[in-house]
């Protein structure tokens, strides 16, 4: 198969050391590659090197003559903001009149009607931005696409459109994304950037990560065996050198030096063990013995009080143990509903259409990450959260929590304003965990997380002892974490029985598919208190059994203790004796 791009001994040095060290890889015609790695490992930088917008410190990049490469970046150039969508699409071929006909053809292929084509670029949604960026690249008739996180900030209908586009694309591509479902569905090969190295695995994302994890376990075992031999030789070498000195024995001294050379060689050849992720995400919460944590009844949702109605909520409620996914297209009002709830809770309003349990400790994750004071240092930024938990209130406890979250002591005096988006998200999650809430309102919490962070968030929410209302477009996170599904469609809030039917409803709303089945009403509406308690009892028993089945180091003792305490209360309430 034709080689389009190849590299040898590629290195890039930054002020923190080498970002890439001796990278060598080949991209061939028809390759469908998912580029994976932690935040900050250099994925976008590598695409910049391949596209020629950045230069490597050393090494070579060879691009074949047959390679027609286009780099689809995360953001549109600022100078296009005031143009109409049509003019922004036309701009790359403005000086090539023979290609202007392709603009009209592409509008239809990209799902734009004539009315939308005249909308200013700055008014487009995230999904429309992505389609426009792809269209500008496709006008050049490439056979290689470099796609830098095109799924960021997309709603589900737009994400499904992107997935379908990549499935039907006949050229090669390198796709940077933290959406494992998207990568598994469209890529057949994975490049994993880690520890300044690139691991080329001829498998889709999920199986590739599993294979790398197995290789890590084997490498750690080899490293431990090799280290045991090094330690044994080091003891012998030290002893021989000492005896040689005491007894003035040249032979012993020579053997000690020979043994030291062998140690040096073994250390040079010792199996490499990855440093792993810089932190692990966790969320501690508490269960509240209550029938409802949040209840909505006839609530009108608007972006601001004087703006047009976005949608109306009938009668729904959220009880302890509910992990609700709130789904809908961009701009439908999901974030507005969470903000409305949070503002009402903060103001301690008494409203008939929005009620919350007054004993509940409720937390909010704002996707703009503005809950953290920019001028505060890292420890002080955590205080508003830690003050709600007596154990975490002290300065020492906060500093220990920061260190465990990957913020070394030397950085504790740093202000929040100097943190990256990923680091701000990490700090906010740490605050939410320290506060140990009964209910979490989470607005796009995965936006700044890498793939491992998303997986850990899903597991953390799945084992969260309280309740949660989650706005997200990440399908893996939704399906891992949530047990109820609300959809904003046709100006109403609807409940659907599972994730698949909720996605189908969104696709139908976007005009991509037909509706699969009639809507179901909120099941809890017809349940008695005993039914609700029995349902929760079964759920807790399942959570406890699943956690106990894990290896001891992966279990969550704090969650187990909370579940067992709640099980005991439910058993007493239901009159069940062991």
If you compute the radius of gyration of the chain from its CA atoms, what whole number of angstroms results? 28
The residue-averaged pLDDT of 175-184 equals 91
Evaluate whether residue 280 is within a structural domain.
no
Spatial contact of 174 and 157, defined as CB atoms under 8 Å apart: no
Of residues 65, 58, 19, 24, the one with CA closest to residue 41: 19
The residue-averaged pLDDT of 15-26 equals 84
Six token digits for residue 425 = 């998200």
Q: Note whether 398 and 538 are same-domain residues.
A: no
Six token digits for residue 366 = 């704002």
C-alpha angle with apex 191: 184 to 550, nearest 5 degrees? 60
Spatial contact of 567 and 537, defined as CB atoms under 8 Å apart: yes
The answer, as to whether pTM is greater than 0.75, is no
Evaluate whether residue 283 is within a structural domain.
no
Evaluate whether residue 277 is within a structural domain.
no
What was the pLDDT predicted at 519? 36
Structural domain ending residue among the three candidates 464, 495, 517: 517
CA–CA dist 360, 377 (Å, integer): 29
Q: For tokens 């069940």, what's the residue?
A: 576
Mean pLDDT across the chain: 86
Q: Using 50, 70 and 90 to split pLDDT, how confident is the model at 278? A: low
Six token digits for residue 284 = 């501690």
User: Strand 172-176 to strand 32-37: parallel, antiparallel, or no bridges (unpaired)?
Assistant: parallel
Evaluate whether residue 285 is within a structural domain.
no
What was the pLDDT predicted at 543? 78
Q: Note whether 198 and 249 are same-domain residues.
A: no
Q: What is the CATH number of the domain that holds 414?
A: 3.40.50.300
User: Residue 281: how many CB atoms within 10 A of its CB?
Assistant: 22
- Candidate from 19-28, 174-183, 347-356, 549-558 with smallest mean pLDDT: 549-558
Evaluate whether residue 279 is within a structural domain.
no
Q: Using 50, 70 and 90 to split pLDDT, how confident is the model at 96? A: confident
Q: Note whether 422 and 539 are same-domain residues.
A: no
Structural domain ending residue among the three candidates 162, 179, 210: 210
Evaluate whether residue 412 is within a structural domain.
yes
Six token digits for residue 69 = 């490469």
Residue 493 predicted with pLDDT over 90: yes
Q: Note whether 202 and 241 are same-domain residues.
A: no
Of residues 169, 209, 211, the one with CA closest to residue 35: 209
Q: Note whether 382 and 408 are same-domain residues.
A: yes
Residue 49 predicted with pLDDT over 60: yes
Q: Note whether 236 and 259 are same-domain residues.
A: yes
The residue-averaged pLDDT of 362-386 equals 89
Please write the tens of the pLDDT for every residue from 195-237: 889 999 999 999 999 999 899 999 999 999 999 999 999 999 9
Six token digits for residue 71 = 């780099």
What was the pLDDT predicted at 191? 96
| Cβ contacts of 85 within 8 Å, gap of 6 or more | 112, 116, 117, 118, 119, 120, 121, 124, 128, 132
Q: Note whether 138 and 95 are same-domain residues.
A: yes
3-state secondary structure of 453: helix
Q: Note whether 322 and 382 are same-domain residues.
A: yes
The residue-averaged pLDDT of 237-249 equals 90
Evaluate whether residue 288 is within a structural domain.
no
Residue 522 predicted with pLDDT over 50: no
Q: Note whether 181 and 229 are same-domain residues.
A: no
Six token digits for residue 372 = 């953290």
Evaluate whether residue 460 is within a structural domain.
yes
Residue 468 predicted with pLDDT over 80: yes
Q: Note whether 299 and 204 are same-domain residues.
A: no
Residue range of the domain that includes 118? 3-210
Residue 541 predicted with pLDDT over 90: no
Six token digits for residue 182 = 């998207």
Q: Note whether 145 and 29 are same-domain residues.
A: yes
Most confident of 36-50, 269-283, 485-499, 551-565: 485-499
Write down the H helix ranges in 69-122: 85-90, 100-109, 114-117
Six token digits for residue 302 = 């608007």
The residue-averaged pLDDT of 548-571 equals 74
Structural domain ending residue among the three candidates 467, 485, 517: 517
Residue 544 predicted with pLDDT over 90: no
72: β partners: 147
The residue-averaged pLDDT of 79-90 equals 88
Q: For tokens 């349940």, what's the residue?
A: 527
Write down the H helix ranges in 247-333: 250-268
C-alpha angle with apex 488: 156 to 309, nearest 5 degrees? 125
What was the pLDDT predicted at 126? 67
- Determine which helix (DSSP H) or strand (DSSP E) holds 48, and give its type and residue range: helix 43-51
Q: Note whether 164 and 249 are same-domain residues.
A: no
Q: In total, how many domains does the chain have?
A: 4
Please write the tens of the pLDDT for every residue from 390-412: 777 788 888 888 888 878 888 89
CA–CA dist 279, 277 (Å, integer): 5
Of residues 52 and 523, the one with the higher pLDDT is 52
Q: For tokens 């959809």, what's the residue?
A: 487
Of residues 423 and 234, the one with the higher pLDDT is 234
């Amino acid at each position: 198969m034709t080689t389009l791009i190849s590299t040898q001994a590629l290195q890039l040095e930054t002020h923190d050391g080498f970002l890439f060290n001796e990278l060598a890889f080949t991209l061939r015609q028809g390759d469908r590659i998912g580029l994976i790695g932690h935040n900050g490992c250099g994925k976008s930088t590598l695409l910049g090197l391949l596209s020629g917008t950045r230069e490597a410190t050393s090494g070579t990049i060879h691009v074949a003559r047959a390679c027609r490469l286009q780099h689809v970046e995360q953001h549109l150039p600022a100078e296009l903001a005031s143009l109409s969508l049509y003019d922004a699409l036309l701009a790359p071929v403005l000086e090539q009149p023979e290609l202007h006909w392709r603009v009209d053809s592409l509008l239809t292929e990209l799902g734009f009607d004539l009315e939308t084509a005249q909308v200013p670029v700055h008014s487009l949604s995230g999904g429309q931005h992505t389609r426009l960026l792809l269209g500008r690249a496709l006008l050049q008739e490439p056979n290689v696409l470099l796609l830098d996180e095109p799924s960021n900030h997309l709603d589900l209908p737009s994400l499904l459109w992107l997935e379908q586009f990549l499935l039907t694309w006949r050229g090669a591509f390198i796709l940077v994304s933290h959406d494992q479902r998207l990568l598994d569905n469209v890529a057949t090969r994975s490049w994993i950037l880690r520890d300044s190295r690139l691991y080329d695995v001829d498998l889709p994302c999920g199986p590739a990560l599993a294979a790398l994890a197995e290789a890590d376990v084997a490498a750690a075992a080899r490293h431990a065996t090799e280290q045991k031999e090094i330690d044994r030789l080091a003891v012998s070498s030290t002893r021989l050198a000492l005896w040689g000195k005491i007894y003035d024995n040249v032979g012993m001294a020579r053997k000690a030096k020979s043994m030291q050379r062998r140690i040096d060689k073994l250390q040079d050849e010792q199996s490499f063990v990855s440093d792993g992720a810089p932190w692990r995400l966790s969320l501690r919460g508490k269960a509240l013995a209550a029938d409802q944590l949040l209840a909505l009844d006839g609530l009108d949702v608007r972006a601001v009080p004087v703006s047009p109605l976005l949608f109306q909520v009938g009668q729904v409620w959220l009880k302890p143990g509910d992990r609700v996914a709130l789904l809908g297209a961009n701009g439908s009002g999901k974030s507005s509903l969470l903000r409305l709830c949070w503002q009402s809770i903060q103001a301690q309003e008494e409203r008939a259409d929005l009620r919350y349990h007054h004993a509940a400790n409720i937390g909010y994750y704002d996707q703009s990450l503005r809950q953290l004071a920019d001028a505060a240092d890292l420890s002080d930024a955590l205080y508003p959260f830690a003050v709600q938990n007596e154990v975490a209130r002290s300065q020492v406890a906060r500093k220990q929590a920061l260190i465990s979250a990957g913020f070394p002591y030397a950085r504790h005096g740093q202000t929040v304003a100097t943190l990256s988006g990923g680091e701000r998200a990490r700090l906010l999650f740490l605050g939410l965990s320290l506060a140990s809430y009964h209910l979490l309102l989470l607005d796009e919490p995965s936006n700044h997380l890498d793939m491992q962070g998303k997986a850990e968030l899903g597991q953390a929410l799945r084992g969260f002892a309280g309740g949660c209302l989650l706005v997200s477009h990440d399908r893996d996170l939704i399906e891992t974490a949530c047990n109820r599904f609300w959809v904003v469609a046709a100006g109403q809030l609807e409940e659907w029985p599972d994730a698949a039917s909720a996605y189908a409803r969104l696709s139908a709303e976007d005009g991509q598919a037909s509706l699969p089945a009639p809507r179901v009403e909120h099941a809890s509406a017809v349940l008695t208190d005993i039914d609700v308690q029995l349902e929760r009892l079964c759920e807790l028993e399942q959570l406890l059994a699943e956690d106990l089945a894990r290896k001891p180091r992966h279990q969550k003792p704090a969650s187990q203790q909370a579940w067992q305490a709640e099980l005991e209360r439910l058993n007493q309430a239901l009159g069940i004796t062991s």
